[in-house]
Amino acid sequence: MPDLLQQINPDKLPVHIAVIMDGNGRWAKTKGKPRVFGHRNGVIAVREVTEAAAELGVKYLTLYAFSTENWSRPAIEVNALMSLLVDTVKKELATLNKNNIRLRAIGDLQQLPDKTHKALLEGIEQTKDNDRMTLILALNYSSRWEIVEATRAIAAKVRDSQIALEDIDVNLFSAHLATRDFPDPELMIRTSGEYRISNYLLWQAAYAELYFTDVLWPDFRKEHFYRAILDFQSRERRFGKTSEQLAHAI
Ligand code: FPP
C-alpha cells in the first residue's frame, strides 16, 4: 500500500471527488446479517476515505448518503439510516474539527427527520471555519430534484424582473444548484460493480472521470481509494479538445 501512495502525483490530484457508496446491503447479506449491519460497517469506510482524502490534500469530498428514492426502502432500514447519520455526525464532530474538516450537506434537508436535520445543522455550524477539506454529504438528494429547484428559483427571478431571460447561462444555472459553493467533481467513484450514476450530480459530473470498482462499500479502504486516484491520473482529460490541441497548449 505505501507503494500505491507513492505513485500518486500530488500535483495532479482531483480537487473534488464524489462517491456513490454502494453495496452495503449485499455485503451484509453475504454475512447472513440484516442490511443495517452493512450500513453500520459502511461508516468505517466513510471514515477511511475521509481520512485518506484529507491526508492527500483533496479539497472536496462528496458522499451519496441517502437519495430521494431511498425513502421507498423498508421503514426499519430508513429509520436505522437516519439514526446512524445522527450518531455518526455527533460522534465524528471532534475528529472533523481536529482534522480541520468542514462539513456541508446538499439535498432537501428540510424533509429529513427533525433529529437528523438538527444534528446535521449543528455539525455544519460547528465546523464552518475549517478549511483543509470540505466533506459534503448528499442527503435526501437527487439531481433531478436539484435541477428542478434551480429552474424554479431562476424562473421566479425572471418573473420578478430580477434577471433577464438572456442572463441565463451555464454559470448562472450552476450558481442556483445546491453545489453552488463547490467546484465540479473531477472524479466520480462507484463501488459494488454497478455502472450507473443514479441521479447523482448529473449536471456537475459533465466532465468527471468515472471509476467503477467491484469492491462493496463496507470493504472499501484507503488502498482502493488510492487505486481510483491513480486510475484518474493515468487518463487524458480532453474537455472536448483533441490530444494534439492539448499537447500544443502545454
Ligand atoms: C448503498 O448501499 C448505501 C446507502 C444507501 C447508504 C450509505 C450510508 C452509509 C455508508 C452510512 C452513513 C453514512 C454517513 C456519511 C455517516 P445499498 O444499501 O444500496 O446496498 P445494496 O445495493 O447492496 O443493497
Quick: pLDDT tens for 97-134. Answer: 999 999 999 999 999 999 999 999 999 999 999 999 99
The overall average pLDDT reported for the chain is 96
Residues 212 and 176: their CA atoms lie apart, in Å, by 29
Looking at the domain assignment, is residue 174 inside a domain? no
- Each residue of 22-34: pLDDT tens digit? 999 999 999 999 9
Please tell me which residue, 170 or 245, carries the higher pLDDT value: 170
The SS3 of residue 33 is coil
Q: Output the DSSP codes for 78-143.
A: HHHHHHHHHHHHHHHHHHHHHTTEEEEEES-GGGS-HHHHHHHHHHHHHTTT--SEEEEEEEEE-H
Query: 238 pLDDT exceeds 90?
Result: no
177 φ/ψ angles, rounded to the nearest 5 degrees: -90, 165
Q: Counting atoms of ligand 1 from 1, which one is nearest the CA of 35? A: 18
Minimum-distance ligand 1 atom for the alpha carbon of 216: 23
pLDDT digits (tens, 9 = 90+) for 117-127: 999 999 999 99
In a domain, 207, yes or no: yes
247 and 225 in contact (C-beta within 8 Å)?
Answer: no
Residue 233, H or E segment: helix 222-233
Bridge partners, residue 139, by sequence: 66
Q: Does residue 24 belong to any structural domain of this protein?
A: yes
Q: 148 lies in a domain?
A: no
Active site amino acids: 22, 70
Residue of minimum CA distance from atom 10 in ligand 1: 42
Q: pLDDT class for 220, splitting at 50, 70, 90?
A: very high
- For ligand 1, pick from 19, 24, 26, 73 the residue to mutate: most ligand atoms within 8 Å of CB: 24
Residue nearest to atom 6 of ligand 1 (CA): 65
- pLDDT-derived band at 179 (thresholds 50, 70, 90) equals very high
What is the rounded average pLDDT of the residues 55-82?
A: 96
Model confidence band, residue 250 (pLDDT cutoffs 50, 70, 90): low
Give me the pLDDT at residue 236, please.
Answer: 76
User: Which of 21, 115, 196 most suits a substitution to test ligand 1, by most atoms within 8 Å of the C-beta?
Assistant: 21
**CATH number of the domain enclosing 66:** 3.40.1180.10
Model confidence at 1, pLDDT cuts 50, 70, 90, reads low
**16 touches 182 (CB < 8 A):** yes
Domain that holds residue 97: 2-141+184-235
Spatial separation of the C-alpha atoms in residues 215 and 27, rounded to whole Å: 10
Q: Is residue 167 part of a domain?
A: no
Within a domain: residue 175? no
Does 176 fall in a domain? no
Number of structural domains found in the chain? 1
Q: Span 125-145, mean pLDDT?
A: 98
**pLDDT > 90 fraction of the chain, expressed in percent and rounded:** 93
Q: What pTM value is reported for the model?
A: 0.95
What does the pLDDT average to over 157-176? 98
Whether pLDDT at 208 is above 60: yes
- In eight-state DSSP terms, residue 183 is P
Q: State the closest ligand 1 atom to the C-alpha of 42, by its place in the atom list counted from 1.
A: 10
Q: Does 192 score more than 80 pLDDT?
A: yes
The pairs formed by 115-124 with CB atoms below 8 angstroms and a separation of 24 or more are: 115/82, 115/83, 115/86, 116/82, 116/85, 116/86, 119/85, 119/86, 119/89, 119/90, 120/85, 120/89, 122/89, 122/93, 123/89, 123/90, 123/93, 123/96
Nearest to 191 by CA among 210, 225, 224, 217: 217
Does the pLDDT at position 13 exceed 70?
Answer: yes
Mean pLDDT of 47-62: 98
CA of residue 64 to ligand 1 center, whole Å: 8
Spatial CB neighbours of 43, under 8 Å, sequence gap ≥ 6: 84, 88
Q: Which residues line ligand 1 (CB under 6 A)?
A: 21-26, 35, 39, 42-43, 46, 63, 65, 70, 84-85, 88, 137, 192
- Cell 438572456, residue? 166
Cα Rg of the chain (Å, integer): 19
Residue 249 lies in a domain: no
Q: What is the pLDDT of residue 239?
A: 79
Query: Among 22, 71, 83, which residue has the most ligand 1 atoms within 8 Å of its CB, making it the best to mutate?
Result: 22
Distances (CA, A) of 230 to 10, 127, 204: 11, 30, 22
DSSP annotation of 184: P
pLDDT value for 148: 98
